[in-house]
Amino acid sequence: MLKSKILIISTMILFILSISAVNAENVTSSMVNDTVNNEFHVIDGKYLEYNNSENGKNLNDTSNVLYDGKDGSVLENKNSNDAIFKYGGNNTVVSKEKPKMNVIAEDSIIFGENLTVKVELPKDANPSWVLMSVGEIYYYVKIDDEGVSLWNMTGLEAGIQYIKIGYRGNNKYEAVEVFHTVNVIKANPNLNVFIKDVNYGENLTIYATLNGVNNTNLTGNVIVTINNKNYSVVVINGKGNVSADKLPAGLYNFSATWAGNDNYNGTNISGGFKINKINSTIAINVEDIKVGENATIIVNLDSDATGNVTITLDNQNYTVAINEGQTIKVIGGLKAGTYDVFVKYIGDNNYNSAQNTTKFTVLKISDYNMDVTVPEFKEGVNSTVGVDLPKDAEGTVTVEIDGKKYTANIINGTAKVNIPGLGVGDYNITTTYSGDAKYVSMTKKGNITVIPNMDVNLYVDDVVMIYHDGTRLVAKLTDYQGRPIVNDIIYFTINGKTYAKTTDDNGTVSMGLNLDSKVYTATVSYNESEVYSKISKNVTVTINPTVISEDLVKMYQNDTRFYVKFTDSTGKALANTTVKFNIHGVFYTKKTDKDGVADLGIMLRPGEYILTAYNPVTGEEKGFNITVKSLIVQSDLTKYYLNASKFQATIYDKNGSLAVGKNVTFNINGVFYTKTTDSNGVVSLAINLRPGEYIITTMYEGLAVGNNIVVLPTLVTRDLNMTYGDGSNFTAQTLDGQGKPLANQNVTFNINGVFYNKVTNDNGVASLTMRLMSGKYIITSYWNDFQTGNTIIIS
């Protein structure tokens, strides 16, 4: 917007007089000693202008001046560009010629360019001025002697501008004015955006410069777009910058836009910049370990590094993914030694490849345990030194005693080093483990004492003999060198008794074995003395019988017989020899056959018996178990009155098989019943007797077996003793076939000739209150075709 201003251009003094509109006849003159000298004119019908080269005083509408030799006043003429001179009550109109004015100027310019305006007037248009105005800005331009007024206009705003050009006139020419239209076109600005290449991770700054014509600094917001994000650069006085987000490495393009303003067009540019990859850092951390431990390799990179690293160890490559700038690799099974670790990172979008190396050592284990077990060394006795190492230890163990070395291999972590017999005395002992790939060698030193040998040898063997064949249990006692120990006592313990025997010149003792035929454990022992240590051994003594047979199991009265073979003490059969048997308190005499075998029929009732056979030659008596199995297998029965329970028995034939389809006889309560067994050999009999206890006998193939039958009542009553008037009740309980109470049953009571009907409650109980006089009464209870009597005594 142009501001109102007046530009005075010339070395001459220009007076501008503002004259109020008045009529000539109303003017009051005042004397001013000025002379106009015919040089004045009216501009825009408002200003009276004249040139006074002497004092340049301004004239107002009441000023008195001398014009054309007359003293008067100059007034404005509202209707023309003429001046009115008033004198002596008369008005004189001073008329002027209208000049020809030609304006030469461009119709359009670009903002920032100057507009040259040339005004051509008559050569005698002077003295005067040309006033040029744009909006509220006024330019007063001198007219040269050729009648030309030339002016370069600057600072025109973009858009359509209207230029008013006015000639002020002189004493000859009246004032004239014209308009010239010029299109001021918006200028193109100069926008420059610069983004410096940076390394990944560094701050990114956008720089922008904005200049207009003649390198004028402009102000405004420049929008820069990078990676789909807009940044606003505030440009002040032609410069501005803003920080942008950190970006991954790579090549980037940007676009920059300025929207323009009233005088400048908008503009946009594009460009590029680069985010350089940076070198990554690799730090390797691995500590020394011992054989058997895992090596943990920790690789630390930049915290935002991605991808994989390759770890090379012992000619093996391991690819490990990076997680938050770190990789961890655990490697086991390394042998002792020093290892080089090589780590290579191929880089990623932001980091260049990198590599690093380090070393670590796998140490052999030195803090392991080596336990040396030294036995008691006895004179002349081979001994074993035990050495316990870790289970996975390998190699050898060497024991050095008295300058001699003894070596053994390690098996499953243990070495057993055999030491030949040493003489009595004290010795130094050195135990050395050779070490292996995992464990360092180790040596331990100590002392041993070889004590006198008090050990004895006891020689005794198991015995197998025939009853009373004269075989003896023999033992021999010697010292550790095998020399007999004479006149010392050896103890034999057998069959619960201990026998003491004295060794002969050969260190030998013996004892007879007059025991029953069977297998015995005998303990033979020698108690220690001041010279010898104690010793004990167990042996087995087997005495085979001269009465040879086995236990017998048979069915009742079948044909199975008991057979026994008799021999003498040498094992020879006793042929045609009279022998005896005893069973169930009865003795039987039999003669053996040519093989020494005798037999006995067993006709006893079912049961278990002891049969004793007697050998008349050796005197041996031997017992055997005889089991006679019943043909009838049954059990007692307890049932409720009239329920479905039956008495059952399983029947077997004499050959031991189930008796199917066979008739069986029962006798109960004096009545006989015959029933037939089913396909399982089972025979049944329904029991419909009144409550009570009975004996039932089952009979089959000459065998009779009795059982108890208990029939429980389903109407349960008890005698009652009471005191007159105490409110006692006589109760009867009804039960079903399983003994469970029955509710809502009608029970009838008869007492003293009177019948009462009662209904059982939830517990199956029917109650009758007794209100009779003192005395003894019989009460009969009836239910379900069953009746029972009880006594009631009222005192």
Whether residue 579 contacts residue 622, with contact meaning beta carbons closer than 8 Å, is answered with no
For 566-621, what is each residue's pLDDT tens digit?
Answer: 999 999 999 999 999 999 999 999 999 999 999 999 999 999 999 999 999 999 99
Coil, strand or helix at 214: helix
For 641-693, what is each residue's pLDDT tens digit?
Answer: 989 999 999 999 999 999 999 999 999 999 999 999 999 999 999 999 999 99
What contacts 451, CB < 8 A, 6 or more positions away?
376, 377, 378, 379, 424
Task: Give the C-alpha separation, 791 to 453, whole Å.
Answer: 96
Return the HEC string of 321-338. ECECCEEEEEECCCCCEE
Neighbours of 622 (CB within 10 A): 20
Whether residue 70 contacts residue 77, with contact meaning beta carbons closer than 8 Å, is answered with no
Q: Look at residues 491, 437, 469 and name the one whose alpha carbon lies nearest to residue 544.
A: 469
Question: DSSP per residue over 162-189, as a string?
Answer: EEEEEE---SSB--EEEEEEEEEEPBPP
* CATH of region 456-543, choose from 2.30.30.100, 2.60.40.1180, 2.60.120.260, 2.60.40.10: 2.60.40.10
pLDDT above 50 (res 35): no
pLDDT classification of 63: cutoffs 50, 70, 90: very low
- Write down the CATH superfamily of domain 190-276: Macroglobulin (MG2) domain (2.60.40.1930)
- Write down the CATH superfamily of domain 632-712: Immunoglobulins (2.60.40.10)
pTM value is: 0.45
Residue type present at position 357: T
The two structure tokens encoding residue 484: 């007999």
The two structure tokens encoding residue 610: 């002891």
Task: Give the C-alpha separation, 186 to 209, whole Å.
Answer: 19
Task: Give the C-alpha separation, 486 to 540, whole Å.
Answer: 25
Average pLDDT over residues 246-256: 95
For 330-377, what is each residue's pLDDT tens digit?
Answer: 999 999 999 999 999 999 999 999 999 999 999 999 999 999 999 999
Whether residue 620 contacts residue 465, with contact meaning beta carbons closer than 8 Å, is answered with no
Q: Please tell me the class of the 1-185 domain.
A: mainly beta
- Write down the CATH superfamily of domain 715-794: Immunoglobulins (2.60.40.10)
Q: Please give the pLDDT value at position 292.
A: 87
The CATH T-level fold of domain 371-451 is: Immunoglobulin-like (2.60.40)
pLDDT above 50 (res 37): no
Average pLDDT over residues 8-35: 30
* CATH of region 547-629, choose from 2.60.40.10, 3.40.50.720, 3.30.470.10, 3.40.50.2300: 2.60.40.10
- Write down the CATH superfamily of domain 278-363: Immunoglobulins (2.60.40.10)
The two structure tokens encoding residue 154: 């600057």
Whether residue 405 contacts residue 398, with contact meaning beta carbons closer than 8 Å, is answered with yes
Torsion sign across C-alpha atoms 722, 723, 725, 727: negative
Task: Give the C-alpha separation, 665 to 674, whole Å.
Answer: 4
pLDDT, mean over the chain: 88
Instruction: Judge if the upstream peptide bond of residue 741 is cis by omega within 30 degrees of 0.
Output: no
**What's CA 426's distance to the chain center, in Å?**
64
Structural domain boundaries of the chain?
A: 1-185, 190-276, 278-363, 371-451, 456-543, 547-629, 632-712, 715-794
Bin 584: left if φ > 0, else alpha if -120 < ψ < 50, else beta: left
